[in-house]
Structure 1
Amino acid sequence: MLLTFDPKEMVKTPYLFFTGKGGVGKTSTACATAISLAEEGKRVLIVSTDPASNLQDVFEQDLTNEISEVQGVNGLFACNLDPEEAAKDYRESVIGPYKGKLPDSVLATMEEQLSGACTVEIAAFDQFSTLLTKKDITEQFDVIVFDTAPTGHTLRLLSLPSAWNSFLEESTHGASCLGPLSGLDAKKSLYEQTVKALSDPDQTQLFLVTRPDESPIVEAARASAELKDIGLKNQHLIVNGLLGNPVLDDEVSHAFYEKQQKALGMVTDNFKGTDISYLPYVSFSLTGMESLKAWIRGETLKLDEAGAMPPTLLSDLSGFDDVAQDVIQENLRVIFTMGKGGVGKTTLAAELAVKLAEKGVAVHLTTTDPAAHLEQALHSRKVAGNLSLSRVDPKREVELYKKTVLDRAGEGLEGEQLAYLEEDLNSPCTEEIAVFQKFAKIVGQADEEVVIIDTAPTGHTLLLLDAAKSYHKELLRSTGEVSPEVQNLLPRLRNKEETAVLIVTLPEATPVLEAERLHADLERASILPRWWIINQSFALTKTDDKVLGGRGKHEIRWIDRVASKHEKCAIIPWRP
């Protein structure tokens, strides 16, 4: 039996870092922790470095990068650092001196290399490193809470000792995450001090936040392992959103409960030796002091201002059948389902493939999902022989790509420079580029059948590969040849007459905000998503469970936000 998370009992260090996948409740958990500690009489500072931060929404007051007092709780202070703005300033500082001196194509490549998630994360790390070393600030507070911790990959990059710039000048292996490090050598000592403080169990606790669901648990286990590898061993897992006893004779309530209980088995398997606690699933929105205090006390039901449902909002939205019909009517040939992990894009890719096959369309479904349930689900539908399936193994593709790059670009490198190249190849961008090549071959089949692809490279990775035609150059450098499929892939993705991107989200704050960033990212690459699909909505269910029903009411603002911005918008109920 898991213990309820109690900050007063479980917080044991002055520095607290909260990390986890988008949408698991990091910010809410960090805020509730800060409130609880402040109520105990401590002076607490909470700092958000999350580019999708909703810290001001949770506290219901405007926040800036200046430390200010949080209204309603004595001793609680907050600041909302903006890593996106810091990354923008950093890009300009690196690229500015070269404008007018280097060709536009080179500048475009540099700018895109500095536009990815790694640049934002490094900018965030720079901000809180500076904050941690200001004794006039740290000495004012008993506890400093950081909403969002750096990944193990970023910490390894920043802690590798050597002259980054000299390596970057000589490196020709391809663009990934080392670009953001150019020009940061002057801060090497600062970063080393920060990494040392993070690794000190007497100074820092790392709180991994997850939901009782497969995807975020797998991600939390991966993050836990890689952070332990670099010395951050003082970890505590918080399972957020655990439903209490289900309602009798309520199919939705029982199915939701059983799914969570099954996922808890993964928690005990993956986090042996780690302190684990939980927070309850609640009916109300986790914004405002009273809601956060009620949540941390373990309350799950509360009367609040969820707001009335616009009378025709849900009935006016399309269903998933409309998405399938659109694909058939417009003779679309390449379909991508995109979105953050855990929103259901793999399941929806499979469901779309089944719907098309049942209409007599020849379909090929490919996925990067290693789980076997996909094949089982398709088999159970007894689909005709016009549906074929393949699975891309990201791990295998990455290993092949790494080997190719190290064999070619790594020749002549040794010691620290080779260590840089190897760590650069641990970047998330590497997986996208490696899988991109495999997908390119599969998309080449679209002349013969509709190809549905679960997950695609982000707009940033596509632009990184395309800048100054570098995606041809990088593949030519690493593999010695550029296949026609790879040459044709990006133009094909931009052709809305044959390609459709389906963005999948949940009707919650973080998944919607992250999906909006993904949409903007794709637009930068001249790829306009065709459909937004709001998945797993409790607002459409007939549940009698007051907790789940209450959540449905709070989905309305996010459903309305998506529907008001996107003409093609479909919604799918939470289904057992």
Structure 2
Amino acid sequence: MKFLETPTRNLFFTGKGGVGKTSMACAIAVQLADRGLRVLLVSTDPASNLDEVLRTPLASHPTPIESVPNLLAMNLDPEAAAKEYRERMVGPYRGVLPDAAVASMEEQFSGSCTLEIAAFDEFAKLLGDKEATSQFDHVVFDTAPTGHTLRLLTLPSAWSGYIENNTTGTSCLGPLAGLQAQTLIYKQTVDALADGDCTTLVLVTRPEPSAFREAARTSSELQELGVHNQHLIVNGVFKNQTPTDEIATAMQRRGDEAVASMPETIAGLDRTSVPLASGGLMGVDSLRRVGQAELKIQSPTLPTPHLPDYPNGLGSLVDELSAVGHGVILAMGKGGVGKTTVAASVAVALAERGFDVHLSTTDPAAHVSATIAADELPGLSVGRIDPAKETADYTAEVMQTAGRDLDAPGKALLEEDLRSPCTEEIAVFRAFAKAVSKGENGFVVLDTAPTGHTILLLDSALAYHREVTRQASQMPESVEQLLPRLRDPDFTRVLVVTLPEATPVHEAARLQQDLRRAEIEPFAWVINQSLVPLAVTDPTLRQRQQHELPFIEEVKSTHASRVALVPWQSEPPTGLAGLRRIVAAESSLTQ
């Protein structure tokens, strides 16, 4: 890896869930420590699996890794930090304000932005205060702060006056309210991140178009903030060892095509390609091999993967979904797991069963709508919620209402706050509410849905007016009826989409907890892109099949009452033909 030739003191690893940033961070930390350098490895991921990867129980303080003498690691807990922070902000109002108002405040501080700020607060204690890590040669951070967090923390010190006088209930400045005393540490932290002589930001991605797009967006956002010292790791690059294996041949072709069409934003970065591991990167020995040329695996004598109670395919799930005859179907999940594809496949299958179906997607490439429109599939209409347009319209509305009487510093803060992920979530929510209302007379299938946190905000009239309508005088009927509709299991069916890997499964479990907090019980889980049902002979893929089994079993036994298993597709699952293949794959699951 080129950046390890002359590594900077601080190494930040960032990337969407499931791309392998924890594995890469651990591998780099181990390899630096093997050179005799003192290394601290830190994670602030709420679902950190550093313990599992390093096979060492970790705590919130540096813990020695026995098999790597110079390496210490720690798991910071942003959930605990956010809980303490929330209580610090809300506690003084207990017994002073009505219980409903206090509950609304607690929910205000329970969203992703509070967690994001709390995570950065933990980072800052290590990065902004040089004395805290002076005994180490290198500090490796498993998770990097987002561009949104960094922008918020570089804003002018107009916070105090703005927050004291602000009555608009903006979504992210509330979580910032208690951080003003540490502005010096935050400034030093931001300065350190932007200093290319001491910090490298490592973007971890997979050889897939959606992962490359996310990495490009992150890279651009951070470069705008002065974080220019970036390196790209393309993790999981597959090279076929068995020319007669059609699945292996197709997998290499798809990866090669994705790399060839990589966005220009990241194509020019220094790059490291890491071969697809034959199994999980667990244990120090496997981490030491990361970045080296993958040794050819001799044909292992592995049994054909088998589950005692094999999950059904997507076709059986569609049969159950169609029984009611109408309602809303939501495909929910983290980015990159294929929720748009699953939603489109379900919509096509329902339409071909004779139902009227409206599919609403946020797919930026719009492959689905273009192909379906051309073929004119009877009974299926396709719409697109454009997050950029919805957010722009919503931002303009808020600036004209909540921002009308603010001074220049106040408007600057409000404008920055409106660039946050929370704003897009609320803006898209309004379009989502309108789409859900159409489920009374047919099926509505959406790949966009509010999080459990947003739903809970809407459960309070005060929170609703603060977070959604801002200063609107009337509540639209579609929004008024949304919460009862979402909580009605005969009207709304939620499909939690994931991949058969550790991080996507654990992130999906947290999503399910959020939904249950909002009194919404998921209907089923969909495990996407599985190799288990496929007939493969390539030794790497055979071992990958075995690696998937415990995560499939975890979903079946711990998280879901219904599970659908969708095989990895040799051809990109776009257009009517590709979507039909996903549902028709049912037969291959019973071989």
Quickly name the TM-score band, shorter chain normalised.
over 0.9
Q: Distance in 2 between matches of 1:338 and 1:536?
A: 16
Q: Distance in 2 between matches of 1:23 and 1:474?
A: 31
Q: Does 1:166 find its partner at 2:161?
A: yes
The 5-angstrom pairing of residues 93-112 of structure 1 reads 93-112=88-107
Choose 128-137 or 403-412, whichever is displaced more. 128-137
The 5-angstrom pairing of residues 534-553 of structure 1 reads 534-553=527-546
Alignment partner for residue 298 of structure 1, among 293, 296, 307?
293
User: For the Cα contact (< 8 Å) 2:113–2:422, is it kept in 1?
Assistant: no
**Code of the aligned partner of 1:389:** V
The 5-angstrom pairing of residues 316-335 of structure 1 reads 316-335=310-329
Shift of 1:405: 0.4
Shift of 1:269: 2.2
Q: Name the counterpart of 2:497.
A: 504
User: For the Cα contact (< 8 Å) 1:284–1:301, is it kept in 2?
Assistant: no
Q: Distance in 2 between matches of 1:467 and 1:301?
A: 59
Q: Deviations over 1:57-110 (max 9, x none)?
A: 100010001111112112111111111111111111111111111112221221
Q: Does 1:8 find its partner at 2:1?
A: no
Alignment partner for residue 354 of structure 1, among 324, 348, 354?
348
The 5-angstrom pairing of residues 158-557 of structure 1 reads 158-245=153-240, 247-267=242-262, 269-299=264-294, 311-313=306-308, 315-378=309-372, 382=375, 384-472=377-465, 474-557=467-550
Match of 2:495, SS state, is strand
Compared CA separation, residues 63 and 328, structure 1 to 2 (3 A)? same
Q: Distance in 2 between matches of 1:257 and 1:311?
A: 25
Compared CA separation, residues 216 and 268, structure 1 to 2 (3 A)? closer
User: For the Cα contact (< 8 Å) 1:536–1:573, is it kept in 2?
Assistant: yes
**Code of the aligned partner of 2:355:** V
User: For the Cα contact (< 8 Å) 2:104–2:462, is it kept in 1?
Assistant: no
Compared CA separation, residues 332 and 55, structure 1 to 2 (3 A)? farther
**Code of the aligned partner of 2:154:** S
Q: Distance in 2 between matches of 1:564 and 1:302?
A: 32
Match of 1:182, SS state, is helix
Q: Distance in 1 between matches of 2:298 and 2:93?
A: 58
Q: Does 1:139 find its partner at 2:134?
A: yes
Compared CA separation, residues 35 and 395, structure 1 to 2 (3 A)? same
User: For the Cα contact (< 8 Å) 1:340–1:515, is it kept in 2?
Assistant: yes
TM-score by length of 2: 0.92
Shift of 1:295: 2.6
**Code of the aligned partner of 1:255:** A
User: For the Cα contact (< 8 Å) 1:157–1:423, is it kept in 2?
Assistant: yes
Shift of 1:51: 1.3
Q: Does 1:82 find its partner at 2:77?
A: yes
User: For the Cα contact (< 8 Å) 2:213–2:263, is it kept in 1?
Assistant: no
Shift of 1:258: 1.6
Shift of 1:316: 2.9
Q: Does 1:45 find its partner at 2:40?
A: yes
Alignment gaps of 5+ in structure 1 = none
Q: Does 1:26 find its partner at 2:21?
A: yes
Choose 105-114 or 369-378, whichever is displaced more. 369-378
Aligned length: 569
**Code of the aligned partner of 1:375:** S
Alignment gaps of 5+ in structure 2 = 571-591
User: For the Cα contact (< 8 Å) 1:300–1:547, is it kept in 2?
Assistant: no
Q: Distance in 1 between matches of 2:192 and 2:384?
A: 42
Q: Distance in 1 between matches of 2:428 and 2:481?
A: 16
User: For the Cα contact (< 8 Å) 1:492–1:498, is it kept in 2?
Assistant: yes
User: For the Cα contact (< 8 Å) 2:3–2:231, is it kept in 1?
Assistant: no
Compared CA separation, residues 300 and 167, structure 1 to 2 (3 A)? farther
Match of 2:460, SS state, is helix
Q: Deviations over 1:186-217 (max 9, x none)?
A: 01111011111111111111001111111221
User: For the Cα contact (< 8 Å) 1:475–1:482, is it kept in 2?
Assistant: no
Choose 284-293 or 174-183, whichever is displaced more. 174-183
Q: Distance in 2 between matches of 1:15 and 1:311?
A: 44
Compared CA separation, residues 320 and 486, structure 1 to 2 (3 A)? same
TM-score by length of 1: 0.94
Q: Deviations over 1:264-322 (max 9, x none)?
A: 13335232542122111111210101111123323256699999888544x53122112
Match of 2:542, SS state, is helix
Q: What RMSD over aligned residues (CA atoms) do the two structures have, in Å?
A: 2.1
Q: Distance in 2 between matches of 1:133 and 1:270?
A: 29
Q: Distance in 2 between matches of 1:466 and 1:340?
A: 24
Compared CA separation, residues 433 and 318, structure 1 to 2 (3 A)? same
Q: Name the counterpart of 2:150.
A: 155
Compared CA separation, residues 555 and 263, structure 1 to 2 (3 A)? same
**Code of the aligned partner of 1:392:** I
